[in-house]
Amino acid sequence: MSEPKSDSTNPSAKPTYKDSLHLPKTAFAMKANLIQAEPQSMKRWEDSHLFGRLQVAREAAEPFVFHDGPPYANGPIHMGHMLNKVLKDFVVRGALMEGRRVRFVPGWDTHGLPIEHKVMTELHEKGKTAKLDTLAPEQRHMAIRRECAAAATKFIGLQAEQMKRLLTIADYADPYYTLMPGYESKTLEVFADLVDQGVVVRALKPVHWSIANKTALAEAELEYEDREDLSVYVDFEAADRAKVAAAFGLITESPAEVAAADTDAEVDESRFLDVTPSFMIWTTTPWTLPANLAIAVHERFRYALVEIDGNTTIMASELVEKVAKKAGAEKVLVRAETDGAKLVGLAYRHPFCAREGRIVAADYVTLEDGTGLVHTAPGHGADDYRTGLREGLPAYCPVREDGTYDDSVPEWLRGKSIWTANAEVAEHLRASGHLFYDHKFMHSYPHDWRSKTPVIFRATEQWFIGVDVPVKRDGKTLRARALEAVEKEVAFTPEWGRNRMRGMLESRPDWCISRQRSWGLPIPAFRGADGKTFLTSASVRAIAKRFAEKGSDAWFTESPAELLAHYDVAGDPHAPAGFDITALVKLHDIFDVWFEAGSSWNSVLRARNIGYPSELYLEGSDQHRGWFQLSLLPALGATGIAPYKRLVTHGFIVDKEGRKMSKSIGNTIDVEALLKEFGADVCRWWVAGTDYENDIRADLEFFKVAGESYRKVRNTIRYLLSNLDGFDASETDSILEGIADTSLEAWVLAQVAGVEEVVRRAIVACSFREAQQAIYTLCNETLSSVYCAATKDRLYCDPARSVRRRRAQAAMYRTADALCRMLAPFLPHTADEAFRALTRDETACVHLERHRTLVQPCHPRWTEVLALREVVHAALERAKASGIENPLDAGVMLPEAHHHLQPFVEDLPDIFGVSRVVMAADQSAIEIVDLRGEPRCERSWKRDGSVRQRSDGGLLSDRDAEAVGVA
RNA sequence: GCGCUAGUAGCUCAGCUGGCUAGAGCACACCCCUGAUAAGGGUGAGGUCGAAGGUUCGAGUCCUUUCUGGCGCACCA
């Protein structure tokens, strides 16, 4: 302890006591300087092999299985990635602080159209596609795949760095990519399991088809351009006049016949239908008419039986006038009307194919164009296809891949190109009297982005996972099992996700898992000499083995015999009779990327022996249809068990006004820039404070607010640390052992213990915001405003080794320690920085620690003391009117009603922030006493009643005199 | 168009199964401290709970309609 300083040049000057105080002192800076300091933390963790050390240290600990959903590797990370990865990191670090063994493997989705499209666009721009087209198909695939792999790898590298910069902890040394041979192999195993279960089926489905390139196209590869086409209004003759008449409330017996049968009957001539009416459809693609299998109506629309220029036909009532006007009809007579629902089930004759079709219902029928009756060709349209599925119609497609008709159409069309067929079909219909009206018109039509030629919808053979096919395991369908799992086996955060997913599962169609592209995992199917497709679970497993060794590129570079090196025909009960490996031809479909991502539970969790299933999957709410659902289906099929126990979803980042972020609006926030301006810990603190279950509004302003909040927490920790200068941490336990429950330390530690419990529970529940608020309130109120303010006097002024002072230090040590641990999941850098300052050990790392469970009882009347503090503050505020502006100029007289707080009386002045507190016997209300007339201690600035002139000439209270060592 | 979801002080959010004068933090205003100082403390003013109906003794909380966002799906034959 230093002696009070006397000014030697001026002996008459009063002593100053500042240097005798134990003022806060710490190297832990007020300014965080995150931008420079965080990379240093990253380096320190990396150099000390933190992730590896944790794996070793937790080897025997209870595992926490958590699986990373793979982001798509086609650009730098955006706000959504930041949100997702940081939330996941809270989960990971939260579990680590609970002492669990966590092996979190980051992953990337690397295949798929967006990358391929991007690569193709670049090749196109560089003029390299022409050269590409000269290559043999397999070489061409390989050339594209090499480019795609390079692009994916590049972005993985970029994203990984950005994710690390967010201070996330994961096995970055050994991540998973869907293009890794081991991953691909494990994906094929899932596929083989599904084949075993009998849910993999092959069926026709219409896709966008480029005739010029003889290939299927994705939506992203279409360009819409105006094109002149022939639109036709066609009459499809009803098959049964009587049934149609009945639907319209008409009769088909002539009035004469009726009169003859029943002389009393009065017959209304107008109810007599003496011709067979037609159903009039409209189409802009006459070439699809040979594939017509049905006509769709809307059940709730009204339909009219109408005579137009002598032609009796049926169309939507609302459109009669429009159609008549368009065709220039002169005589229009509506004979009768009926509901669309009444028409459903009626049959009609195809105008030039020898078959009948049916009227079906569809709610996509509109009254904007056409006739209200929609020509339906399930092999040539997405809607038509779905309607066909529902009605049990085949996806009939008589068009070959070169755009010509096959032999199933009438002879006059066979082998013709569909484009020339347009006019011929119209002429044929005109000749046979089925064409009501035709005209040329311009409309926007999809074109192949590369060849600039118009595309068509064409049904092709595709691979499906049937969701309504019973699996061999238990005879339940995937849909039924998935619904069951969603209902009973999976927890949802937020709870409404359950509803949402149920709805999606109920309505989802079979899963089409094949794509006609280059960049992906090949579906290992062959065509045999007999023309049949060869694919059995054993053959798939054999190829899986081959891919594990060679990667899936082998599909394009090896022969069937090489690919099937591990295949044992004799051991495959499903092998086709007369199997001839030399006659096999490879097919070139690839898997839907969702199938690969949806198999990650196998390729990562099971393949790496991490555990199965995952405790939770945590992704954006769009994944209810995506990854969540498409992981659930394969997992249920292959294992019967859902791949996750719980689904946690977050919303999307939107701008300040609640609108979605998009580059075109220009309201995006750049993650790199954000990190550069605020640092990762502040960004993470922002994430921790979001209400992530819904849309999350983001704006630079909000990060400033988060920064303020962060600074408050940081500064509180700093203050705790600054009072621990010279404190021997090893004394903490002995100092605090058995402290009175009425002591300030009992109170503050009880608060810390309570917050710790809340924080731990909240993190487990993924209620990060709740945890953050508890921590913030602890720092802002419990500590900064109450405890630190109350103990300031004793820490600064008490003798250094006073019991009271050291007790406060011990409490602060324990509090700072607990805070570091509570903050570790949220602020990895700051918590670690503080922890090293606290332990005064540069090699210490809070991330190797785990929570300590604090137990500290405190007196039940503390709540009353704190409430009284509020009342006294209010009274002090009122007393300002009488000139008592500084609380240390005031004393407090407590009335009878508060006398039971006697056990706390020693600490009450500090708790209230006043100089003295008196329990007054004759008092009815709290009274603020003006102490300005009393001497003020020159060291502690308190007027506690013991202040008098001391031997050194200074005015000191008893306590301060003792501390300074004067009498 | 359909499914899910949200709309509470200037901002970010609490408000469980309906029940005292609707809460918190930030920001704001005023004040104190200047020995946590590009810190700290105190007090205070802010809301017809998106809108309109309805159920109820009583609704931010339940029902209906509607407006404005978000996510997903479908759609223009």
- Tell me the pLDDT tens digit for each residue of A81-93: 999 999 999 999 9
Nucleotide nearest to A960 (CA to C1'): B35
Q: Distance in angstroms, CA of A894 to C1' of B36? A: 31
| CA distance linking residue A433 with residue A429, whole number of Å | 6
Nucleotide nearest to A282 (CA to C1'): B77
Write the DSSP string, A740-804: -TTSHHHHHHHHHHHHHHHHHHHHHTT-HHHHHHHHHHIIIIIIIIIIHHHHHHHHHHS-TT-HH
pLDDT digits (tens, 9 = 90+) for A241-264: 888 888 888 877 766 666 666 655
Handedness of CA A279, A280, A282, A287 (dihedral sign): positive
Measured N-to-C along each axis, helices A113-125 and A137-165 cross at an angle, to the nearest 10 degrees, of 110
* A643: CB partners within 8 A, 6+ apart: A67, A601, A605, A612, A613, A614, A617, A631, A632, A635
**Strand residue runs (E) in A537-626:** 585-586, 590-591, 617-620
pLDDT digits (tens, 9 = 90+) for A213-232: 777 777 667 777 778 888 88
- Contact (CB, 8 A) for A858 and A750: yes
Q: What is the ipTM of this complex?
A: 0.92
Give the Å distances, CA to CA, from A733 to A784, A787, A788.
Answer: 23, 20, 20
Least reliable range by pLDDT among A257-271, A272-286, A542-556, A681-695: A257-271
Residue with CA nearest to B37's C1' atom: A30
Q: Distance in angstroms, CA of A758 to C1' of B15? A: 19
Least reliable range by pLDDT among A337-351, A363-377, A622-636, A769-783: A363-377
| CA distance linking residue A83 with residue A764, whole number of Å | 18
pLDDT digits (tens, 9 = 90+) for A43-74: 999 999 999 999 999 999 999 999 999 999 88
Q: Residue A589 pLDDT more than 80?
A: yes
Q: Distance in angstroms, CA of A669 to C1' of B7? A: 24
Q: What is the pLDDT of residue A2?
A: 43
Least reliable range by pLDDT among A343-352, A656-665, A769-778: A656-665
| CA distance linking residue A351 with residue A356, whole number of Å | 9
Strand B, nucleotides covered by protein (CB < 7 Å)? 3-6, 11-14, 24-27, 31-44, 69-77
Q: What is the pLDDT of residue A858?
A: 93
Q: Distance in angstroms, CA of A870 to C1' of B36? A: 23
* A290: CB partners within 8 A, 6+ apart: A352, A353, A398, A405, A409, A410, A413, A425
Cis preceding-peptide flag for A454 (omega within 30 of 0): no
Nucleotide nearest to A365 (CA to C1'): B77
Closest listed residue to residue A459, CA positions, set A207, A81, A221: A207
Structure tokens at A933: 């007339």
The whole-number average pLDDT for the span A834-843 is 96
Q: What is the pLDDT of residue A259?
A: 63
Work out the pLDDT band at A958, boundaries 50, 70, 90: very high
| CA distance linking residue A532 with residue A659, whole number of Å | 52
| CA distance linking residue A218 with residue A377, whole number of Å | 20
The whole-number average pLDDT for the span A507-519 is 87
Work out the pLDDT band at A8, boundaries 50, 70, 90: very low
Q: What is the DSSP letter of A18?
A: G
% of chain A residues with pLDDT over 70: 97
Q: What is the pLDDT of residue A712?
A: 95
Nucleotide nearest to A937 (CA to C1'): B35
* A682: CB partners within 8 A, 6+ apart: A34, A703, A706, A707, A710
Kind and range of the H or E run holding A447: strand A435-448
The whole-number average pLDDT for the span A127-149 is 89
Nucleotide nearest to A885 (CA to C1'): B32
Residue with CA nearest to B41's C1' atom: A785
**Strand residue runs (E) in A799-923:** 890-894, 916-919
Q: Residue A6 pLDDT more than 70?
A: no
| CA distance linking residue A827 with residue A40, whole number of Å | 14
Nucleotide nearest to A708 (CA to C1'): B26
Least reliable range by pLDDT among A6-10, A146-150, A339-343, A592-596: A6-10
Work out the pLDDT band at A240, boundaries 50, 70, 90: confident
Work out the pLDDT band at A319, boundaries 50, 70, 90: confident
- Contact (CB, 8 A) for A417 and A403: yes
Q: What is the pLDDT of residue A582?
A: 93
- Contact (CB, 8 A) for A323 and A268: no
Nucleotide nearest to A769 (CA to C1'): B13
Q: Distance in angstroms, CA of A765 to C1' of B17? A: 21
Nucleotide nearest to A18 (CA to C1'): B35
The whole-number average pLDDT for the span A632-653 is 94
Q: What is the pLDDT of residue A227?
A: 81
Q: Distance in angstroms, CA of A67 to C1' of B17? A: 35
* Cα R_g (chain A), whole angstroms: 40
| CA distance linking residue A734 with residue A925, whole number of Å | 41
Q: What is the pLDDT of residue A443?
A: 77
Measured N-to-C along each axis, helices A744-764 and A803-823 cross at an angle, to the nearest 10 degrees, of 10
The whole-number average pLDDT for the span A447-454 is 81
Work out the pLDDT band at A9, boundaries 50, 70, 90: very low
Q: Distance in angstroms, CA of A896 to C1' of B1? A: 72
Q: What is the pLDDT of residue A257?
A: 66
| CA distance linking residue A213 with residue A858, whole number of Å | 79
Q: Distance in angstroms, CA of A47 to C1' of B37? A: 37
pLDDT digits (tens, 9 = 90+) for A806-817: 999 999 999 999
pLDDT digits (tens, 9 = 90+) for A672-710: 999 999 999 999 999 999 989 888 989 898 999 999 999
Q: Distance in angstroms, CA of A877 to C1' of B39? A: 23
Q: Distance in angstroms, CA of A267 to C1' of B65? A: 49
Residue with CA nearest to B74's C1' atom: A364
Q: What is the pLDDT of residue A751?
A: 95
| CA distance linking residue A19 with residue A5, whole number of Å | 7
Work out the pLDDT band at A7, boundaries 50, 70, 90: very low
Least reliable range by pLDDT among A166-180, A328-342, A820-834: A328-342
- Contact (CB, 8 A) for A278 and A315: no
Nucleotide nearest to A319 (CA to C1'): B77
Q: Distance in angstroms, CA of A870 to C1' of B75? A: 62
Q: Distance in angstroms, CA of A715 to C1' of B41? A: 15
Least reliable range by pLDDT among A18-22, A249-253, A914-918: A249-253
Nucleotide nearest to A283 (CA to C1'): B77
Q: Look at the block and give the residue holding tokens 């026709």.
A: A204
Q: What is the pLDDT of residue A269?
A: 67
Q: Distance in angstroms, CA of A351 to C1' of B70? A: 49
Q: Distance in angstroms, CA of A237 to C1' of B21? A: 77
Write the DSSP string, A82-151: HHHHHHHHHHHHHHHHTT-EE----EEB--SHHHHHHHHHHHHHTT-HHHHHTS-HHHHHHHHHHHHHHH
Q: What is the pLDDT of residue A760?
A: 95
The backbone torsions φ and ψ at residue A876, rounded to the nearest 5 degrees and listed phi first, read -65, -40
Residue with CA nearest to B26's C1' atom: A705
Least reliable range by pLDDT among A254-263, A451-460, A507-516, A955-964: A254-263
Kind and range of the H or E run holding A336: strand A332-339
Least reliable range by pLDDT among A535-539, A577-581, A776-780: A577-581
- Cross-sheet strand order for the sheet of A916-919: A916-919, A890-894, A927-930
| CA distance linking residue A618 with residue A601, whole number of Å | 14
Whole-prediction pTM value? 0.90
Residue with CA nearest to B71's C1' atom: A622
Mean pLDDT of chain A: 90
Taking each continuous run of H as one helix and of E as one strand, the counts in chain A are: 33, 33
- Contact (CB, 8 A) for A846 and A831: yes
Q: Distance in angstroms, CA of A880 to C1' of B35? A: 24
Nucleotide nearest to A785 (CA to C1'): B41
Q: What is the pLDDT of residue A11?
A: 45
| CA distance linking residue A469 with residue A248, whole number of Å | 40
The whole-number average pLDDT for the span A912-931 is 91
Residue with CA nearest to B6's C1' atom: A694
Q: What is the pLDDT of residue A13?
A: 54
| CA distance linking residue A942 with residue A479, whole number of Å | 76
The whole-number average pLDDT for the span A922-932 is 89
